[in-house]
Chains A and B, each alone.
Chain A
Amino acid sequence: MIRHLFTLIWNRKRSNALLIAEILLSFFVLFAVSVLLVTSYYNYRQPAGFEYQNVWELNVNPGQDTTDHRPTLRLMMQRLQATPGVVAVTGTSSNTPFAFSSMNTNQYYYQKKQGPSTDRYEADDEMVKVLRQHVVAGRWFDRRDDAATNPPVIINQRFAEKLFGNESPVGKVMTNDKGTEKWQVVGVVDYYRRASDFDGNAPAIFVRRVAQDVDKLDPNENPVLLVRVQPGSGAVLEQRLVKEISAVTKGWTAKVNTLEENRHDKMKIVLTPLVALGLVSLFLILNVALGLFGVLWYNINQRKAEIGLRRALGATGSGIGSQFLGEMLVVTTLGVLAGVLLTAQFPLLGAFGVETPIYVISIGLSAVLIYVLTAVCAFQPSRIAAGIQPAVSLREE
């Protein structure tokens, strides 16, 4: 029977070609959606590399104050640190966890090999106490770095893999392209996925920021402070922190957000296009399903006499239903095979920097979804075909 189905499909290749093209197109749509969803899910399952719970972000605005901010900033951090309920305080650049701002660079070289495009973060010695990153090699910044010949940096594992391969990065000295600047790797953290829960573990580098070393800070910067507070801290502590800031500054304002709120806000913004794309894809798939359903329905109406004939020659009703379903599955297989051959080029060419397992899972998922889609679409027309009375269908021609 399989050979018979192939013969039929081959002999009807012109009419089947359109159906195969439709299935191929659906496969591509599903593949694109699958890659996006699988990537998002894969990223979501990855560790963030830091703890955002009980961390508050203080955005301090100096307003009209044009004096040097640095002494005020240092004093403010000391006062905050001393406030009961505060565990640790860190000053950092504006690209805090879940913030929209980012700083990218590809200025790092090691033995003339250029490093990857990487996210750059400013971090002081306290950041690890606030965000609790996981140092997997070397150490976090500390006072030992004050006397370092080369500015110390900490990288994440992704950066290490890209620039150092299998070599241990700790102690290695990176330079800029001309070799005029040098940085020494003192530690490695595992992950640092700070953009959102759905972002990948991009290469990251932390450069040391020293609040005490005022000469190295921008006198006019608007600092961002991250404060780890005791669990359960609320509005009372928030008011106290604002008061502390007011006490040491003149006319400065401070806005307090929790990182959990920031995460929630970011999640909404990241999910919106994903949901929109999902809905568009769903609409496309629904259209494809209706198309397939229509084609099959039309096929059955066109082939009523054939159905009657087959029944007369000994086919059972269920056999007819299975034949139509089988034909559809063979046609689907041809479409899916073409789709797999074409989409397999993505992992083979390493396109878009997506990891091979994500492509492989997406191809498998798309194939399964296409089979389910065609089986669902073919089921009802096949059931109708199975129920056609042979005498009626033979008379109809």
Chain B
Amino acid sequence: MEPTLTAPHATADLISRNNTPMIRLIDIEKVYQTDTIETVALNRVNLTINRGEFVSVMGPSGCGKSTLLSLMGLLDEPSGGTIEIDGRAVTSYSDKELARVRNQKIGFIFQSFHLINDLSVLDNVELPLLYRAGTSGKERRQLALAALEKVGLSARTKHFPSQLSGGQRQRVAIARALAGTPEIILADEPTGNLDSVMGEEIMDLLLGLHRHEGTTIVMVTHDENMAHKTERLIRFFDGSQVS
């Protein structure tokens, strides 16, 4: 079954986009330190991603792309600098506040899908809603089913990840990211483990999501073709933004 990402009025951009910053990185530094070695992953990065933008990040392995995404996703703490999400500096947030921001504002898509193999497709998609206070079981189910409908997997709700193809697994991961209706989607090489046909399919899904729902998307990729389909391409080298 083909993906059927639709919006109520598919021909128009429903979400008004402006130049309001959704993610701002100000003088961000990330240094990994061991007893003997100090590795600078990000060196004074200043970057703004506007609301509704679809940005791709490229660069050679080890240049700090994934670290950048981890910091944007509040999965890691910067060694220096400030991160703002939707106009609020989150650097000093507590673990609980960071978890709330991640849950309500950010959806993640990973190269290796990160599905829980012991949970069905539907249970996997429900997962972010499980951590959202005040969402009933019935609501969770409805939102998860709606998300699966968007990625064309509503017929596979009871399957387990091991029973799906790579492309289907990534669609489940996208449905999981969509289920919580986040304003930001951070995708770390979402097509990296897929063949070109599957990769195109996933890219179309992300483009549709951006176009119809105005979701801010930051995608790390090694694929120039995929990157050129996005609105802005940022290149990284050796921990710094080069373009």
Which residues of A come within 8 Å of B, CB atoms?
A: 1, 3-4, 7-8, 11-12, 305-306, 308-319, 389-391, 394-395, 397
Contacts of A4 in B (CB 8 A): 123, 130
Instruction: Tell me the nearest residue of chain A to B71, going by C-beta.
Output: A391
Assess whether A312 is in contact with B118, with CB atoms less than 8 Å apart. Answer: no
Assess whether A12 is in contact with B118, with CB atoms less than 8 Å apart. Answer: yes
A7-B123, A397-B112 known; A319+B99 contact, CB < 8 A: yes
A390-B75, A391-B76 known; A313+B66 contact, CB < 8 A: no
| 8 A Cβ contacts from B129-149 to A | 130-132, 137
Assess whether A7 is in contact with B70, with CB atoms less than 8 Å apart. Answer: no
Contacts of A8 in B (CB 8 A): 118-119
Contacts of A311 in B (CB 8 A): 75, 99, 102
A310 to B119, CA, bound (A): 13
- Enumerate 7 A-B pairs (CB-CB under 8 Å) in ascending A order: A306-B116, A308-B75, A311-B75, A312-B75, A312-B108, A317-B95, A318-B95
A389 to B100, CA, bound (A): 16
Instruction: Tell me the nearest residue of chain B to A390, going by C-beta.
Output: B75
Residue B54 CB within 8 A of the other chain: no
A14 to chain B, nearest CB (A): 10
| 8 A Cβ contacts from B90-127 to A | 95-96, 99-100, 102-104, 108, 110, 112, 114, 116, 118-119, 123, 127
A10 to chain B, nearest CB (A): 9
Assess whether A314 is in contact with B118, with CB atoms less than 8 Å apart. Answer: no
Which residues of B come within 8 Å of A, CB atoms?
A: 66-67, 70, 73, 75-76, 95-96, 99-100, 102-104, 108, 110, 112, 114, 116, 118-119, 123, 127-128, 130-132, 137, 176, 180
Instruction: Tell me the nearest residue of chain A to B70, going by C-beta.
Output: A391
A395 to B75, CA, bound (A): 11
Assess whether B114 is in contact with A314, with CB atoms less than 8 Å apart. Answer: no
**For B73, B75, B103, B132, which residue has the most chain A Cβ atoms within 10 angstroms?**
B75
A7 to B130, CA, bound (A): 13
Additional A-B contacts beyond A311-B75, A394-B114 (7; CB < 8 A): A309-B114, A309-B116, A313-B102, A313-B128, A314-B103, A314-B131, A318-B95
A318 to chain B, nearest CB (A): 8
Say whether chain A's binding surface is mostly helix, strand, loop, or mixed: helix
**For B110, B118, B132, which residue has the most chain A Cβ atoms within 10 angstroms?**
B118
Assess whether B102 is in contact with A394, with CB atoms less than 8 Å apart. Answer: no
Contacts of A11 in B (CB 8 A): 118-119
A319 to B131, CA, bound (A): 9
A311-B75, A317-B95, A394-B75 known; A305+B114 contact, CB < 8 A: yes
Assess whether B130 is in contact with A1, with CB atoms less than 8 Å apart. Answer: yes
Assess whether A316 is in contact with B76, with CB atoms less than 8 Å apart. Answer: no
Contacts of B100 in A (CB 8 A): 314
A315 to B133, CA, bound (A): 11
Instruction: Tell me the nearest residue of chain B to A397, going by C-beta.
Output: B112
Contacts of B75 in A (CB 8 A): 308, 311-312, 389-391, 394
Contacts of A314 in B (CB 8 A): 99-100, 102-104, 128, 131-132, 180
A310 to B115, CA, bound (A): 10
A274 to B123, CA, bound (A): 51
Contacts of A309 in B (CB 8 A): 114, 116, 127
A57 to B95, CA, bound (A): 74
A308 to B123, CA, bound (A): 17
A394 to B109, CA, bound (A): 12
**For A305, A314, A319, which residue has the most chain B Cβ atoms within 10 angstroms?**
A314
A8 to chain B, nearest CB (A): 6
A117 to B145, CA, bound (A): 72
Contacts of B114 in A (CB 8 A): 305, 308-309, 394, 397
Assess whether A313 is in contact with B119, with CB atoms less than 8 Å apart. Answer: no
Q: Which 7 A-B pairs have the closest CB atoms?
A: A314-B103, A314-B131, A391-B76, A391-B70, A11-B118, A313-B128, A391-B75
A88 to chain B, nearest CB (A): 77
A3 to B116, CA, bound (A): 16
Assess whether A389 is in contact with B76, with CB atoms less than 8 Å apart. Answer: yes
B163 to chain A, nearest CB (A): 13
Assess whether B137 is in contact with A394, with CB atoms less than 8 Å apart. Answer: no
B131 to chain A, nearest CB (A): 4
A225 to chain B, nearest CB (A): 76
A313 to B178, CA, bound (A): 11
Q: Quick one: which of B95, B128, B176 contacts A316, CB cutoff 8 A?
A: B95
B87 to chain A, nearest CB (A): 20
A289 to chain B, nearest CB (A): 26
Contacts of A316 in B (CB 8 A): 95-96, 99
B123 to chain A, nearest CB (A): 6
Contacts of A310 in B (CB 8 A): 127, 131
A391-B75, A391-B76, A394-B75 known; A313+B123 contact, CB < 8 A: no
B3 to chain A, nearest CB (A): 22
A112 to B163, CA, bound (A): 74
Contacts of B96 in A (CB 8 A): 316
A203 to B45, CA, bound (A): 89
A158 to B45, CA, bound (A): 87
A3-B137, A395-B66 known; A313+B103 contact, CB < 8 A: yes
Contacts of B108 in A (CB 8 A): 312-313
A397 to B66, CA, bound (A): 14
Q: Quick one: which of B110, B116, B130 contacts A394, CB cutoff 8 A?
A: B110
Contacts of B132 in A (CB 8 A): 314
Contacts of A1 in B (CB 8 A): 130
Assess whether B119 is in contact with A315, with CB atoms less than 8 Å apart. Answer: no
**For A1, A313, A315, A390, which residue has the most chain B Cβ atoms within 10 angstroms?**
A313
